Amino acid sequence: MKTMEFPFEKRKCEILKRAEEKTNPAWGKAPEQRTVQELLDYGIIVLNKGAGPTSHQTVDTIKKILHLEKAGHSGTLE
Amino acid sequence: MTGVLVIALGKATRIVEVLLKAGKEYVCLMHVHTPVPEQIIRKTLSGFLGKINQIPPKRSAVKRQLRTREIYYLQIIEIQGQDVLFRVGCEAGTYIRTLCIQLGKALGTKAHMQELVRTKVGTCTDKEWHSLHDLKDAWEDNKEGELKKMLLPYERAVEHLPKIWVSDYAVDSLAHGAFLSVPGIVKLESDIEIGNTVAVLSLKNELIGIAMAKMNAEDMMSQKKGIATGETKVFIERGVYPKYKKNE
């Protein structure tokens, strides 16, 4: 069976190191350590949109639930 | 149509621009209008890979002119009489409704899209999706464990892009709109080519911004100076990393 892959999944690349440098733990934060509060500004949700509401309505509903001023979606599903 | 819809929250909202261009996967139920032997259906569909030409349908937001889109894979899941269930991976902007019409023609008859579910947007798949209902419940009941599973770091939205990691000292000037110059690069992916849209990350893997590569990977490694990427679409906030002062 042929593999079902996107072009980016077929990339054969390695990570090239240009410098030996460390990051200072005092600045910034690794994404996996973000709190729920922080993710409300720097997060995404992978939603299973059902047949009822439109993509736009879905975003509006999420904004209401999470009390967000801004949110967007990845392309209409209509 | 239903399925994977990725929602970007708050300050991450603009990341949808990247997702709009990312590859998509769908599971489609197509109805063929007249009986066609299964073998012919299988043979014809297997030949529909690579670049195809499409004119966007009447009910679309884009200009109705001929454009090329790529089908990355097309696999038949099941055929039941004149109903064909298949999975298709394709370039952003491919119209599956139009694809079904094209497939019908290629089969020497007519066909239409009966049902469509989107199963992938970039690296976000139906294996990790949640319903609006579950989100509402988790939020209202303050279930932090559940919420942390549903709210993903927005860096997931650029996982499919080639990456460059920069020094802590390059972050703030990038955040202020400076172009990335080679000395700021710590590591990079080896297949980056000029013109690629790349994700510029901190060494903690935070997304700093999205930019277009002005050099290829080889030059980014070997050059001592020069502009590596052009105008950055900045996502990280200013001031998270300190301003780098030379000779401090």
Q: How confident is the model at residue A2 (pLDDT cuts 50, 70, 90)?
A: low
**Nearest chain B Cα to A29, which residue?**
B204
| Cα-based torsion angle of the residue sequence B206, A35, B12, A57 in order, rounded to the nearest 10 degrees | 150
In this prediction the pTM is 0.93
- Domain segments of chain B: what residues? 2-125, 161-234
Residues A37-64 have a mean pLDDT of 96
Across the interface, whether the CB atoms of B147 and A36 are under 8 A apart is answered yes
In a domain, A57, yes or no: yes
Number of domains making up chain A = 1
Say if B51 is an interface residue toward chain A (CB within 8 Å).
Answer: no
CA distance B239 to B168: 12
Nearest to A5 among B73, B155, B185 (CB): B73
Helix (H) or strand (E) holding A72, with range, is strand A71-73
pLDDT tens sequence across A6-32: 999 999 999 999 999 999 999 999 999
CATH superfamily of B161-234: PUA domain (2.30.130.10)
Q: What's the fold here for domain B2-125?
A: Pseudouridine synthase (3.30.2350)
Q: Between A and B, how many CB-CB pairs are < 8 A? A: 243
In a domain, A19, yes or no: no
Select the more confidently predicted residue: A33 or B244.
A33
In a domain, A14, yes or no: no
Across the interface, whether the CB atoms of A47 and B5 are under 8 A apart is answered yes
Which of B132, B224, B225, B238 should we substitute to test contact with A (largest number of A Cβ atoms within 10 Å)? B132
Across the interface, whether the CB atoms of B152 and A69 are under 8 A apart is answered no
Q: Residue A4 phi/psi, 5° resolution?
A: -100, 95
Above 0.90 for ipTM, yes or no? yes
Tell me which long-range contacts A8-12 makes (C-beta under 8 A, separation of at least 24): A8/B23, A8/B160, A8/B161, A11/B162, A11/B189, A11/B191, A12/B191
In a domain, A45, yes or no: yes
Say if B138 is an interface residue toward chain A (CB within 8 Å).
Answer: no
Going by their DSSP bridges, the two strands B2-9 and B111-121 should be labelled as: parallel
pLDDT of amino acid B246: 58
Regions in chain B scoring below 70 on pLDDT: 245-248
In a domain, A62, yes or no: yes
Cβ under 8 Å to A: B residues 174-193: 185-191
pLDDT of amino acid A3: 75
Going by their DSSP bridges, the two strands B24-32 and B2-9 should be labelled as: unpaired
Domain that holds residue A54: 29-78
pLDDT of amino acid B248: 45
In a domain, A5, yes or no: no
**Nearest chain B Cα to A41, which residue?**
B10
Tokens 């910034």 correspond to what residue? A28
In a domain, A2, yes or no: no
In a domain, A50, yes or no: yes
Q: How confident is the model at residue A75 (pLDDT cuts 50, 70, 90)?
A: confident
Residue B126: DSSP 8-state: T
pLDDT of amino acid B50: 95
